[in-house]
Amino acid sequence: MSTARTCLRVDGEPVALTVDARVTLLDALRDRLGGTGPKKGCDHGQCGACTVHVDGRPALSCLTLLAAADGTDVTTVHSLAADPCGARLQKAFVTHDASQCGFCTPGQLMSAVAALSRADLDAPASIREFMSGNICRCGAYPNIVAAIRSVRNSRDGQDGRDA
- Specify the residue, 63 or 91, whose C-beta has the smaller distance to another protein: 63
> Least CB distance from residue 163 to another protein, whole Å?
26
> Least CB distance from residue 160 to another protein, whole Å?
27
> Least CB distance from residue 22 to another protein, whole Å?
5
Binding site for another protein (CB under 8 A): 1-2, 4, 20-22, 24, 43-45, 48, 51, 54, 57-60, 63-65, 67-68, 70, 111, 114, 128-130, 132-134
Please state, in angstroms and as integers, the Cα–Cα distance from residue 45 to each residue in 62, 90, 96, 133, following that order.
7, 24, 27, 9
Q: Are 68 and 17 in contact (CB under 8 A)?
A: no
Q: Quickly count: other Cβ atoms within 10 Å of residue 137's Cβ.
A: 11
Q: Are 92 and 98 in contact (CB under 8 A)?
A: yes
- Specify the residue, 90 or 134, whose C-beta has the smaller distance to another protein: 134
The distance between the two most distant Cα atoms of the chain, rounded to a whole number of Å, is 59
